[in-house]
Amino acid sequence: MTEFIRAHGGRGVLMPTDVPSLQKGIREAYEILRDGEWHSGTEIKQRHSQGGGEALRRVRDLRPKLTPDFVVEKCRAKDGSRNWLYRISRVHVPEEQGDLFA
């Protein structure tokens, strides 16, 4: 199980308790998005074995499986099409600032 977690982004992205419950479709969605790059809905549908709307449902199902440090982002493509882009990214947590007047 630790090998699976290490191979799929490391501890913090997935927890050991998540691994057994990840269905094949959710794992596939994770495999597509785990590189942190933007992927179009069309690409996800083509690369995912379930294809079509089912592939994007698995992306939605993936969201609650990620630890709080990571999110599945979504934005509309800038080419004017109706296509959406998805990626997994780390949530920015600002460091403690301390006393600003010291």
Please tell me the distance from the alpha carbon of residue 88 to that of residue 85, in angstroms, as a whole number.
11
Please tell me the distance from the alpha carbon of residue 82 to that of residue 95, in angstroms, as a whole number.
37
Contact assessment for residue 90 and residue 77, using Cβ atoms and an 8 Å cutoff: no
pLDDT of 12-55, one tens digit each? 666 667 666 567 888 899 999 999 999 999 999 999 988 888 89
CA 65 from chain centre, in angstroms, equals 9
- Token pair 């597509």 in the structure block, residue: 32
Q: pLDDT band at residue 10, thresholds of 50, 70 and 90?
A: low
